[in-house]
Structure 1
Amino acid sequence: MSELPSEVRFSLSKGFEFTFSKEFTKAELKLKGLFGSEESWESLESMKNTLTFKTSPTAEYVAEHWKDDAFYGYQFLNGVHPSIIRNCPLMPSNFPVTEEMVQPFLEPGTSLQQEIQKGNLFLCDYKSLEGLQTLVVEGNSMPLTAALCLLYLDTTGTLKPIAIQLGQEPSEKCPIFVPSDPELDWLLVKMFVKNADSVIHQIISHLMNTHLLAEVFAVATMRHFPDVHPLYKLLTPHFRYTLQINTAARVVLLGPTGLVSKSSAGNEGTNELMRRHLAETTYSSLCLPDNIADRGLQNIPNFYYRDDGLKLWTAINRFVWAMLGLYYPTDDEVSGDAELQRWIQDISTRGFLGNRRSGMPESFITVEEVVKFVTMVIFTTSAQHAAVNSGQFDYNSWVPNNPLQLRRAPPTTKGQVTMETILETLPNIGHSGVARSCKHTRSVIIPSMECVLFPQVVLGSYPEERFGEPAAKQIIENFQKELSSIEERIIERNATLHVPYCYLKPSEIENSVSI
């Protein structure tokens, strides 16, 4: 960290925040007798009674409703990881779900094929986890399933899981589970899906697609733009602490996942997973309107991440158009800006390894192209990071809801799971305590100190006032007013919800990846 330029290092107060949080968490775990314990939990109730130092209304709701299929499906849209679910226009050949299997869970008078044609079937596919190297604990590799989960949207707008396969190759040892199977079987296989989802969430959707992408953009910006360049002025507030926070993030985010994250045998699980996803990452997948369309999620109801995110994307895009219009009145200014061209070429060739299949631009010809790309950069480093980070304590602190580690192999036959099986599969007491505390550290700043030591810089704030032109100042003010209007609509909507979706409220979105 000491090698970083002084302007991107942590301030004294920010460094203190991390040190204090770490020591406070360690002391808490020791006080409760959780630190280093390798014992399994005696019961789910004992886990609930012990992990109670910190809480939130949503976390309490999760702990009470995590078994419910309707709430389980809801989380794929509005939980901490809304980035994996997609419409299922055709059943995968390696997921042989039949009409007979799922008919009891469909609306009366319809069929599986009819519901597919109506667009009411959705899929979460974790194929990228297949064959990854995982941590070895007590001589056994930790299990990680390349699961498939089919979800059904009924006429009430409720999304529920109706079929789960814990592997990519169906067989007698890899059966398809359905909700009518024994209750504990169904509960355990749902936990294995959420374990797979948690690993993709932390390593890809969170670490790679926000933290590490922000690092790519930040390094290229500092490398190619002088501080008087309008894009330097516009973008650097969105890289506050990015390089320093990523040094910590590589350790904190990867530690509890169960994957091998340090290179001892070459093909470590964490890096291999990121290689796989980077090879498949497209420019359109980073642009929210395109991403939503590509996943076929334009019309699914009660998708608050989409609704709030698209409003923010539009507001950011309008803001960027106005700002860049001051400095690039025509396309000629874009094509003639050598610093701008070197910036995007560096991002394309070094950040995305020159992968032309990604659709990542290698140069800019028009103002519109620059505006879209800069919109993506700002959205990624602010709103998208908030969406996949801020809800971690709410949805992950109750460990069975989103376990980052599981200890026993997945079930291969039906009717064999007991509560003892589930408790032996969940993380042990020590790992559960660490996981819960990490979730709090990542997503919550200590309230009593927040205003004094660690003031947030929220989306739309430019406290360094790099733009001196009256027109630019007015554009920033207009942007802030539009964000306030979005916030009012979110608050009004949330007042009608059992579980408010708050992670894209502008007042709670940091301007950069700084936590």
Structure 2
Amino acid sequence: MFGIGKNLIGDALKTTGDVLRTTGDVAGSVVNAGGNIVDRATDIGRIGKKKIKGKVILMRSNVLDFTELHSSVLDGVTELLGSGIVLELVSATHVDRHSNDPRGKVGRRAYLERWLTSLPPLFAGESVFQINFEWDEEFGYPGAFYIRNGHTSEFFLKSLTLEDVPGHGKVHFDCNSWVYPQRRYNKDRIFFANKTYLPSETPAPLRKYREEELINLRGDGKGERKEWDRIYDYEVYNDIADPDGGNSLVRLILGGNKYPYPRRGRTGRPRTRRDPNYESRLQSVVGLNIYVPRDENFGHLKMADFLAYSLKALSSNIKPGLETIADRTPGEIDNFKQVHNLYDGGFPIPFNVFRDLTNGLTPPMFKELLRTDGERFLRYPVPHIIKDDKSAWRTDEEFAREMLAGVNPICISRLQQFPPLSKLDPSVYGNQDSTISEENIKYGLNGLSVNEAIEQNKLYILDHHDALMPYLRKINSTSTKTYATRTLLLLQDDGTLKPLVIELSLPHPQGDRHGAISKLYYPAEGGVESSIWQLAKAYVAVNDVGYHQLISHWLHTHAVVEPFVIATHRQLSVLHPIHKLLIPHYKDTMFINAFARQVLVNAGGLLEETHFQSKYAMELSSYIYKDWNFLEQALPMNLIKRGVAVEDASSPHGLRLLIEDYPFAVDGLEIWSTIQKWVTNYCSLYYKDDEAIQNDVELQSWWKEVREKGHADKKNEPWWPKMNTISELVESCTIIIWIASALHAAVNFGQYPYGGFVPNRPTISRRLMPEVGSSEYKELEANPEKAYLRTINSQIQFLLGMSLIEILSRHASDEVYLGQRASIEWTSDKHALEAFEKFGKEVYQVEERIMERNRDINLKNRTGPANFPYTLLVPSSSEGLTARGIPNSISI
């Protein structure tokens, strides 16, 4: 790719041969041209007909992409023959009286003007073309148009605008779709005006077109999907393993009664040779060529592509290079100063290793990860958690604060019975209840008894015990050595949380039925006891990071949303109001998920390499998905379920927080209510009563498919909304938007700001707590920093993990944030536009209130000892690593 200059002449010369080898395409163009010439000749005799002027905006493929060089030549040939880009308007008010088919009348062909004179830019960018359509009274209102691409390469069609349709004024078509050469399609591409219609209200001439377009998008469930396809269909997770690569890359298929999972987008790739139940994997991700419907792929703007290429590079180039570094340099980090040097000075890499690492490539692809000055260093930005104070992360106050204002603030719950009890089946796992007694914690209860503390809502718990224990024996059979953890905390009068005790549990050596072996650890301020306590907090962090990445982030946002994306395209027409409401919140999600299955969550992928669950990671997430409940993803219900809030009609948002200074919950409830208000106002424009919901055939088909196909393993759950009322529609759409925007932002964009300093949030533990008298215990006494760093991530795991979460924590330059739309003409409904403008203003007001709270020194959990304000739910952001911003969709 970067050797483009030396190959320029040779590739250009080869173009002549490419043209000759595409005789079939040119011949087809000549045939098409014959008809077009006749049409144009006829047009000469129709000069008196009224014309409608139009403007088409499109973006061509990058002309410096050498896979498209031959296309540029052929495009010139077909343009001269008159078979370039053809459009035909479709009437929404008149049917063809010469046909028995009740379809809208199709107008005469029109052609883009000045294709050749509007020269393509050096990089892909917008081009504007004029077009003139013939119009008469018998045609009426244009509600759609056909388009045929007679060129040999695709282009991105942004919009068509008709300037002055008699009796109607301006008519806009918001297209935003890739259009491939006509030979790639079985049906002509059709686009609809940005009107909004419920199915029953669709003008009769457009109904067949509306229905057929949905049928086209569903496909027939057969064959391997190609780049230009627009088919949305479902498949189980049979693509994350690689049986043909050997036993070490075999994983369970996720999706089905035994291992339930949300469905993914179907690609139809061939099955593996070794086991036909598995889909074969791409051996390389050349050009990011993973199939998703073309419009679901990352956009044409540079930053989005950079993020994807960075992940690709990390997997295929950086990871092997870092492994080489680990082989050629000392494999351990010995003290925290060496960790800080990763930000202050970088990590030294021998020149020959750097050359291998970059595989001959140079920045900008690797400019965020590599420096090329001097001796070549890996470069990492300073994480926010240590910018102001390098040691504040070690305090108990910061350890507890991050449960309320960190990157995983959705797991802490109120302790309502003591001691903490397990929900694991005792016939399988024995006694898994906590061993913590009142005697163990009374010293820290500020004079209260346990019962008094519970009654006053003062006791809280971060409990990862039940989620992990069923898999802990398997996990510890790998290089991981860790515990299932429970952490009890006291809510103090100043609103902060104080850790009281940490319980570390292991499976019983004689078998699961014998229960757990547990040990308790307490806060300490000096001596070896403080080092032991610091290690106990590290094991809690390892649990929390693993649960965060796999469950809070991947499963509960990325994976559960994908079925909604697929079902929406299959069952809700682009004319449908709910399609228009939800579509911004699906941008790039299918692609980033497909890419994750290729390099992140796959067997041997980056997540297995950098997190303690190792090869059991995805299987464990299936185990957790068994308890997933769609309604509990609503923030108010989630807070009530965890006991950190109670219903209170007199309080804002209808509930009262029991931890008043809970930054994620306080900011999140404002965002939630603002989204809910917008959805309510929008839906009320189109549904006047519950009967309208029940009679909406597309809406009912959509919801049925979400449950029965998208989340097929949960289809019989009683908690699914029935979708019979307006309130059920509002609730469901609010939850979808909340998950895709604010919830994902809260658990994603703080990954590097909090976890980029690995000692604060280690992802792996490599050895268990040292026993008194052991060599490890003596090392802990003599050199606690070294012992700590020997327990958590190794050097390679440090570097690889930091590189990964730095990429995942960045905002793209083309990001669209909550309260914004990529197009201001997404609908022609002025009432919807007014409601959305109001929504945008309210989102901005929420942002101002968040920033004001962060300035309140009485709210100690807002910034904490590290002086790192909680901004993850601040809606707006600039490009890059900002620790703020709520994109509309799960786009990274």
User: Could you say whether these structures have the same fold, taking a TM-score greater than 0.5 normalized by the shorter chain as the test?
Assistant: yes
Of the three residues 210, 227, 239, the one matched with 2:574 is 227
Give the CA deviation at 1:382. 0.3
Q: Distance in 2 between matches of 1:285 and 1:413?
A: 45
2:838 matched residue in structure 1? 478
Q: Distance in 1 between matches of 2:585 and 2:330?
A: 41
Secondary structure, aligned partner of 2:814: coil
Q: Distance in 2 between matches of 1:413 and 1:165?
A: 18
Of the three residues 682, 689, 705, the one matched with 1:330 is 689
| Bigger Cα Rg | 2
Give the CA deviation at 1:361. 2.0
Asked whether the 8 Å contact 1:134–1:258 carries over to 2, the reply is no
Q: 1 or 2, which has the higher strand percentage?
A: 2
Q: Which amino acid aligns with 1:81?
A: N
Cα separation, partners in 2 of 1:20 and 1:272, compared to 1, 3 Å:
closer
2:341 matched residue in structure 1? 49
Give the CA deviation at 1:62. 7.1
Matched, 1:272 2:619: yes
More displaced stretch, 237-246 vs 218-227 = 218-227
Cα separation, partners in 2 of 1:211 and 1:140, compared to 1, 3 Å:
closer
Matched, 1:435 2:801: yes
Asked whether the 8 Å contact 2:690–2:725 carries over to 1, the reply is yes
Of the three residues 553, 562, 581, the one matched with 1:215 is 562
Q: Distance in 2 between matches of 1:56 and 1:29?
A: 25
Secondary structure, aligned partner of 1:222: helix
1:266 matched residue in structure 2? none
TM-score, scaled to structure 1 = 0.90
Instruction: Calculate percent identity across the aligned residue pairs.
Output: 29
Give the CA deviation at 1:470. 0.6
Asked whether the 8 Å contact 1:345–1:363 carries over to 2, the reply is no
Cα separation, partners in 2 of 1:437 and 1:29, compared to 1, 3 Å:
farther
1:88 matched residue in structure 2? 415
Matched, 1:69 2:396: yes
Cα separation, partners in 2 of 1:4 and 1:357, compared to 1, 3 Å:
closer
Q: Distance in 2 between matches of 1:305 and 1:439?
A: 21
Q: Distance in 2 between matches of 1:276 and 1:32?
A: 32
1:371 matched residue in structure 2? 730
Q: Distance in 1 between matches of 2:768 and 2:332?
A: 16
C-alpha root-mean-square deviation of aligned residues, in Å? 2.8
Q: Which amino acid aligns with 2:490?
A: Y
Asked whether the 8 Å contact 1:166–1:410 carries over to 2, the reply is no
Secondary structure, aligned partner of 1:40: coil
Asked whether the 8 Å contact 1:134–1:143 carries over to 2, the reply is no
Asked whether the 8 Å contact 2:490–2:500 carries over to 1, the reply is yes
Secondary structure, aligned partner of 1:141: coil
Give the CA deviation at 1:144. 3.5
1:3 matched residue in structure 2? 291
Alignment coverage as a number of residue pairs: 499
More displaced stretch, 216-225 vs 419-428 = 419-428
Q: Distance in 1 between matches of 2:826 and 2:621?
A: 36
Secondary structure, aligned partner of 1:122: strand
Q: Distance in 1 between matches of 2:314 and 2:618?
A: 30
Asked whether the 8 Å contact 1:134–1:260 carries over to 2, the reply is no
Q: Distance in 2 between matches of 1:166 and 1:408?
A: 13
Deviations 1:139-165 (A, max 9, x none): 853123221111111122220211111
Q: Distance in 2 between matches of 1:34 and 1:398?
A: 20
2:253 matched residue in structure 1? none
1:511 matched residue in structure 2? 888
Of the three residues 11, 15, 18, the one matched with 2:308 is 18
Q: 1 or 2, which has the higher helix percentage?
A: 1
Q: Distance in 2 between matches of 1:212 and 1:169?
A: 30
Secondary structure, aligned partner of 1:460: coil
1:264 matched residue in structure 2? none
Q: Distance in 1 between matches of 2:489 and 2:773?
A: 20
Give the CA deviation at 1:247. 2.0
Question: What 5-or-longer segments of structure 1 have no aligned partner?
Answer: 262-268
Q: Distance in 2 between matches of 1:153 and 1:362?
A: 36
More displaced stretch, 504-513 vs 10-19 = 10-19
Asked whether the 8 Å contact 2:708–2:715 carries over to 1, the reply is no
Give the CA deviation at 1:403. 1.1
Of the three residues 555, 574, 583, the one matched with 1:236 is 583
Q: Distance in 1 between matches of 2:816 and 2:517?
A: 52
Asked whether the 8 Å contact 2:383–2:756 carries over to 1, the reply is no
Deviations 1:205-242 (A, max 9, x none): 00011111221211111111111111111111100000
Of the three residues 529, 535, 540, the one matched with 1:182 is 529
Q: Which amino acid aligns with 2:888?
A: N
Cα separation, partners in 2 of 1:223 and 1:168, compared to 1, 3 Å:
farther
Give the CA deviation at 1:32. 13
Cα separation, partners in 2 of 1:165 and 1:207, compared to 1, 3 Å:
same
Give the CA deviation at 1:28. 11
Cα separation, partners in 2 of 1:27 and 1:348, compared to 1, 3 Å:
closer
Matched, 1:303 2:662: yes
Asked whether the 8 Å contact 1:128–1:277 carries over to 2, the reply is yes
Deviations 1:236-266 (A, max 9, x none): 11000000011233433624113244xxxxx
Give the CA deviation at 1:100. 2.4
Secondary structure, aligned partner of 2:499: strand
